[in-house]
Chain A
């Protein structure tokens, strides 16, 4: 599959650029683990920096609003929240290890913060898929 994609890329653009080399799913995984990392791998420095700033900014802002970091799952909404949080990749794991974020929503802004953290994860997934699309040539 990856080899076929590589061949079609090469056929379409003549020669493969430096950023198009390597495992085809690497930008996707790097982009998930580190916000903007997939774009950095593809040498899209500006886009990567902007994505990293926005996603990390939203994540940190969510934490400073005392947003809840989902750890255990108790009902279906918690599962969805945890799935969104996991989209943040390493920042989520670091937050869990450092014990930042609230266990319970106690103030109004904490509810906003919880949504900020979940949406930062979802936006990070979109950014990682975008890096994958750039890598496969689906997007230029």
Chain B
């Protein structure tokens, strides 16, 4: 591991988080591969979209 430091932006971290979590959700929550892929994409879109919406909500609350 050494001194390698990975410093993503907040949005990149959200996208990576969404990618990893939705992959596991897709595999574990559905039974057939086509439904796994569909559910994984659905979860990914929901993760990222809700992060964007909540970011704008917090932006307007902070103003």
Residues A126 and B24 in contact, CB atoms below 8 Å apart? yes
Cβ B27 vs Cβ A130 within 8 A: yes
Count of inter-chain pairs, beta carbons less than 8 A: 62
B27/A140 in contact, CB under 8 A: no
Q: Is the beta-carbon distance between A126 and B28 smaller than 8 angstroms? A: yes
Closest partner residue, chain B, to A129 (CB atom)? B28
> CA separation between A140 and B7, bound complex, in Å?
40
Contact with B along A107-123 (1 / 0, CB 8 A): 10100110110011001
Q: Please indicate which of the listed interface residues A60, A112, A116, A130 has the most CB atoms of chain B within 10 Å of its own CB.
A: A112
A interface residues, Cβ below 8 angstroms from B: 47, 50-51, 54-55, 57-58, 60-61, 63-66, 98, 100, 107, 109, 112-113, 115-116, 119-120, 123, 126-127, 129-130, 139-140
Give the dominant DSSP class at A's interface. helix
A61-B6, A64-B1 known; A140 and B24 CB under 8 Å? Answer: no
Assess the B5–A65 pair: CB atoms within 8 A. yes
Any A CB within 8 A of the CB of B57: no
Residues B17 and A65 in contact, CB atoms below 8 Å apart:
no
Q: Which chain B residues numbered 1 to 32 have a C-beta less than 8 Å away from chain A?
A: 1, 4-8, 10, 13, 16-17, 20-21, 23-25, 27-28, 31
Chain B residue at minimum C-beta to C-beta distance from A61 = B6
Q: Are A130 and B4 in contact (CB under 8 A)?
A: no
Q: Within 8 Å CB of B6, what residues of A?
A: 61, 64-65, 109, 113
Residues of the A chain whose Cβ atoms lie less than 8 Å from the Cβ of B21 = 119, 123
